[in-house]
Structure 1
């Protein structure tokens, strides 16, 4: 601080009117029981805005439905997740995380997502390894939207990702099957090409199928 600025500041502090104002402010501060955390907006203003938003959102609910308490209720959508250092209250001291459990941070969710992707990749690779043992055997083709439904039956030719079907490589986690029998007419071919759209179009044709959606035909 420059010397002349310091002199002005000391003069300001020694001013009797300023001293009196400082004393009053100290006394008023001591009377304050709650800390203002909403900046220039008063609690009353914030409350009115929240109520308006809740009323508007409630109007969008389907007619005759109720706003069932939960993570997707009107309150949660308007108030959002709990924030560090602040609590959005439900009545006398109950916060959202008390009712629905602690919500994980973005970093925790990201790390969990990475872990699950890694586990999924390992399981997929293990599944492909097991399916490689079926090459040359007869297999069922399963509906990818309803895996319990068998849509065709044929011979597993290869799981080589560079194999060309319909002019393109099949890629990882796909296999090549020579379809012999249709078990569900009208079922879509997962990767259609040319005039091959339905499984009945592919009878006697070699097609690509996701390797996770085939299973071995039991031996008689």
Structure 2
């Protein structure tokens, strides 16, 4: 060993190589712990506060990293040390693969700004006489916030078989959260819960469609926990979906879904908001038929499969405006030209001229009356105007 020379400082007389071998493992352990703590700090800045306790209880950075999304994980890898490794168990993507076609897909909506509000900053929401929100901005925020609650396993557990099974304590807590963030008129609790119910069912359907694979063993399915679903709830969901009872219900629902022909064309805009918009255009509240045409038609062409089937010279069934599943008459389509006149008035887009040959519901009122014709029975043998979305091909004629 080199002897110290007079005038040398203590620091200059030492080198890393002279650390005793017995102390080297301890030294390296402290260095690794320091690096690991830096990674945890990075993770804590990226994750919401609700995950901090899980980070602190994680034994390594790799375990804490498994709490991150793929995008956040790549960010950690870019700014932290090479010691941080991706989680061993891969998760299925939020959306199914698109065969190499890159699409711009909006990520999940968490409504963090709404969650951060206190009761003094609650958003006021305007409702109509039917108890439905109609203000464009606030009603949209309310709808998105209800969706965020429905997708939160803490407030709306996903493992219950149906909404009726969800305990009242959870439903009361959901209402409490909504009432703290929004100023709602009295008596809106039923509407709020109905809206959450629909969003909760849609979320469960999304999770099943994109994460559950009946061809994979139950053990493997339980390992493939979606990022936004609680692990204990996921295990109960998978167990139920694997049961024969669930498969029978699923098959029955698929058949029922196949009977649906009419398609809502207004996206996220509710019927109440469409009606309010139409009211401003017309100067009065729109009728049910006007509202139905507005929501289920698109442009100047038939807006769904039912309408496209109603072609000239086809035998068709006419459906009731009050109950679209009920047949009120049968006849033959004579024209779908908007300029064709029936009873002195033009058809207009998305309507057709029908020659009524069979009256099924004699007392059913005509949607567009003219002359002495007020009911289906009055118009037997005559021509009437009928909306295309309420016209269906007569299968008995095939």
TM-score (norm 2): 0.27
Please identify which structure carries the higher strand content.
1
Please say which structure displays the higher CA radius of gyration.
1
TM-score (norm 1): 0.46
- Greater RCO (CA < 8 Å, at least 6 residues apart): 1
Please identify which structure carries the higher helix content.
2
